Each structure stands twice: as C-alpha cells, then as structure tokens.
Structure 1
Amino acid sequence: MSEDEGNAALGKKEFKRSKSHFADRVTADGRDGWPVEAGRYRLVVSRACPWASRALVSRRLLGLENALSLAVTDPIQDDRSWRFTLDPDGRDPVLGIRFLKEAYDARESDYPGGVSVPALVDVPSGKLVTNDYQQLTLDFATEWTELHRKGAPDLYPAPLRDEIDEVMAGVYEDVNNGVYRAGFAHSQEQYEEACAGVFRRLELVADRLADRRYLVGDTITEADIRLFTTLVRFDAVYHGHFKCNLWKLAENRVLWAYTRDLYQTPGFGDTVDFDHIKRHYYQVHTGINPTGIVPLGPDRSGWLTPHHREELGGRPFGDGTAPGPVPEGEEVPAQGRP
C-alpha cells in the first residue's frame, strides 16, 4: 500500500498512483551502488499487499530465501507506517526498527511520498534501497541469477520479454491498478469507467487463457505472477470492498481455474494469507469501510479443488523444478489458509 492508497482511502483526493521515489536497483555489477550480495539485504513485505506479494512469489520460485531475508509486517498499519508488531517486542529482529518509516528516514529525511511495500533495505546501514515494486521482481529474475537455487525457472525469458511486457502493461493499467481506481473513485463516472475497464480486460485475459495454460509461452512468467496477485484477492476484497462486482472470479470458469492452478503451484498459494488480506483492506480503508467490519466470507474451500488446467499442457517451471518447502518461520498461519 502506498501513500496514494492511504489518502484515497481517507477521501483526501482522487486516486492516482505515483512512481516509486526510491528507484535504485540492486544489480550484478552494482552500477547503482548496490551490488547483489547474499545476506546483505532484507525484503520487507505485507502479505496483504498485492505489490509486495509479487516479490514474495518471485523470491520463493527463484529460491532466494537463503540469500534474501524476509520481514513481514502487521497487516494493519497506522499513521507511523507499516509496523513490526508481529515480531517480539514489536521490532524487526534484523533491522531493529519498529516501523518501516525508520528505514526510509535513514535513507532520506522529509522525502516526498509515503512508506510503501515491498521495500528492500540494506542491513548494514539500515537504509532503504528501493521501493520500486515494478522493477524489483524483474531484477530478482535477471540480476540475482548467481544466487538462484538450482532448477530455478526463468521468469523473464529474453525471447518473450516484448510479449510479456505488452501483456503486463494492459493487466497493470486495467486490472492491477484498475481495481484501485474503481475502489477509490470519488464520482460515479470515475467508478464506472474504471470498473468497466477491469472487466473488459479480464474478459480479454480469459479469452487468451481459454486454450493456453499460462499468459505467455508454456511456462510461468512474471506476467502470471502479476496477474495472480490481483486475482487471488478478487472475490475476498475487490468484488465487495472495491465494488468490482459485475461478476466474481469464481463465476468465470477460465479465470477461476487458472488462478486455482497457480494457487496450488508451490511458490504461489503458500505465500498467500487471506486473513492478512481481508483485515488490511477492510480495517485500514476507513474512507470506504468506516465501521471496520471484516466480512466472514467468501468460502475458501474451493481454492484446493481440482482445476484440470494441466490438460492444456505447459510446464510450470520449464526446464527447472518446483521450489522446496517453505522455510521454517515463513509459513502462513492456519487462519490465513483455505
């Protein structure tokens, strides 16, 4: 969640997502001053946030767990930013801070913008490195290769990058960001335009996926990760909370099967915490849901039902293999799973 989302939730302005202020990159050659180095950086995420969830999935699929430590924030942040209240004494055990804002302030005080996740923090200095959620996972796939696990999939294959970029651009504009523009709209016209765009793009995506297992090529790519993190939240929050309710994901045969297929793929569903997702959206966005009541539904049992998408062929990890078990201490609690 960014400052834009927080302000819009409180009814302060029309929703418009700003670019990441801290856009340094961690690269193999360290050209921005931040070289790829095992153990040097800490990935700070909220399991509630779809943008942070991209980084969670990518980290799991590529096997970066031993090279890049993980900090998970409380799904409920306050005016001091994302909190580490899930940790003993309310401090991140590695960074030693109570609020993510402390890492931002260590990098630049009085910067223009809010405190957002995902955030990559330099452990030795305690300074934020980047909050550029669009570039971060692409760099995980292409710049962190020396630290990938054996058998890691190629999530951004060079021959398919133009097509992946094109698909991701449409999905971002109309779906990833479109649900927010609908949910935080301040006029009927804004809402109807955004909501119509969400479902127009979903129909196009469903047509694309009707006879192919994945969005681009025959393996999982970055495009699938970015679509998944919105779709997995759709019925739980976007359908009701953001009023994107022309139909539910579970009512679309192709998209429901596609999302279940990914959810049941190691590296996807094992990063999803439905409890964090629901509590964040319904309790933080007081401008939309002033009572803070979190709905009981929807029923989650369907997430583990057969999807039959394997009949379309495809190789989830290409020439690679599935990631191993979730590292100890990073498991999603029982209340967040189906």
Structure 2
Amino acid sequence: MSNISELQVQTALKEVQDPYLGKDLVGANEVKKIQVDGGRVQVDIELPYPSAGVKDKFAAEVSRRVQAIKGVEQVTVNVGHNIKAHQAQRGVKLLAGIKNIIAVASGKGGVGKSTTAVNLALALARDGARVGILDADIYGPSQPRMLGISGKPTSKDGKSIEPMENYGVKAMSIGFLIEEETAMVWRGPMVTQALEQLLNDTRWGELDYLVIDLPPGTGDTQLTLAQKIPVTGAVIVTTPQDIALLDARKGLKMFEKVGIPILGIVENMSFYICPKCGNEDDIFSHGGGERMAEQYDVDFLAAIPLDRRIRNEADGGKPTVVAEPDSRLAELYMELARHVAAKLAAQAVDFSHKFPNIVIQNK
C-alpha cells in the first residue's frame, strides 16, 4: 500500500519553475488541487496568463517531478488558465467586459510599434486569450491593412458598433470608417473624442486583453488615454539608436507621471541577419533598449530582429504570428506576449467589478 502524502507532491512541485513569473508553481499559487489515491496522483495547475502554448511543457515537467516520488504509479496533470482583471491608474474605472488594457507606445514614429502591437495581440489570442485591438492612431491608422480586414463595421442597435474580426482578434479603427487614402484634418479635441467613441461605442464583448496601438509621441491621444481610459500597463517600443531612445524615454516618463505601470521595453530592429550569408549586423546600433530598461528598472521584454518577412507579412495582411506560426520570429512574439501577460498577472487584482454600486437616497 502506497503512503504518498500531499506534502511530498507539493515539495516536488516546488522544483518546477514558472519562467514567466520567476517563481516555482507553489510559490506562484498556481497549484490549485493535489489529489492522491493510492499510487495515483492528480495535479491541477492554473496559470494567471494564457496557457495554450505552454501547458504541455508544464504538464510534462510536473509529471516528471511527481513520477520520481517513490510509490507513484500514475500521474494526471491538468493545466489551464484564469485571467483576472488588474488595477489600472488610480481614479479610472475598468470598462465593462474588458479585464486588461495594454497600451503599446513609442516616442517616435517608424520604430515598428504597430507591427509589434498586432503581433502581440495575435500571440495572446493564439495562446488562448480573448483579445481585441484598438487602433488609436486617428491620423495614420494601419491595423485594417495589417489584419487583412476590409469593409465597414455594422451596428445592430443604431447606437453601438460591432468590431471587425480576423485571426481570432476583434478590431476597431478609424480606418474602417473612412477610405484608406482619406486625410484626417482634425484638431486635437476631435481626435480625442473620436478615440473615446471608438473605444466606448464598440461592442467588444468579453475580453481578457485589449491592446491599444497608440500613435507616436506624448500628445492629446496619450493624455486622453491616461485620464479617461483604464490602462493596466504600457509596453514601450524603440529601436536601438540614440535618437529613438531619447523619444522612448519621454514616452516612458509620461506613463510614469500618470501612474500607468510600465510592463517593459521591446527593442525592435535589434539586429539584422543577412539571408544570403548569415552574417549578423547591428545596423541601428545594439543594446540601447536593454540599457534603457536597466536605467529605469523595468523589464526588457524582447529583442526583435530587422527581418524583411516581418514587414512583408504585416503589409500583406497576415502578420508573422499567423503567417509563420512555427518560425523563430513567431516564437519571439509568443514569448513577448507571455512575458507581458505574466507581468500583468503579477500586478494587484481589481475587485471593483464584483461589488455593486451603493446608492443612498433620502426619502
């Protein structure tokens, strides 16, 4: 008769690390159930971020560790996820149905922010999350083309708009409402009003993450975002050269001032590998994003290479994560998404949606 204890199993699980949270499964509170029946052991693991792409790896490692316990004959491991709503900046309430809002920003244009944003959204969806993307660049919307979506959104009730959708991601952009070559000659107040309407009048449904692709800079759109939209965290995209880093620092400091957590920095166009000879070249310098992350004590999330395929696939309406799902480039975006989701999961949980509004009336 086997005398396996739950404590033995728990001790074995302390040897399994979650590389995205930087803790063991027990320390990260990811072990939800341990059941021992003779020589049979069942372990239920619940990750706080999308699990589809990593659950098999976790299950295999848990099974290996538990199987090593003397007397264990059979191990069953169930791995799932439970994505919670996390606190945004103080004084701004969460939006109904949207658990977390991720702002993807850059100090200047041309650093590949929109490409990073769309691949981040697609990667989160591929790992099993319910995801939307809001194209907040009113003057230069690019998400309709990148997602390969044409046509105009519809309205079922005449008041709200149904989001467009492709590759499992819901999307909204001013680009869906105007002709592609139409110039938006609008002043700041009109732009901010349009952004609020695109966000609030879209029937997003239930989302685990809404990725907001911001325009470059620190202007009216960013200020509206900080004051009126519950942003759970921001990702800063830069390239390695000094000019881009100067502007990226301004964006980072802006988010710090308004109390929006910085999830980390992505260094885009980090290096170039010649497709013919394989030689690696630092065209835009190297390591600037990593040094910036160290300077401001934030996470360095990813180094994305300068690769023609990334540009071609985004321009063609089928970004890298869906165009080449098994490629090294796609895996870089998948890892980026997991680190972003795990960084969010480590923040304080927002419980406000669980409590009803209390109204006191004098009669």
Task: Note whether the superposition's TM-score is higher than 0.5.
Answer: no
Given the two structures, how large is their TM-score scaled by the length of structure 1?
0.28
More helix by share: 1
Given the two structures, how large is their TM-score scaled by the length of structure 2?
0.27
More strand by share: 2
Higher CA-based Rg: 2
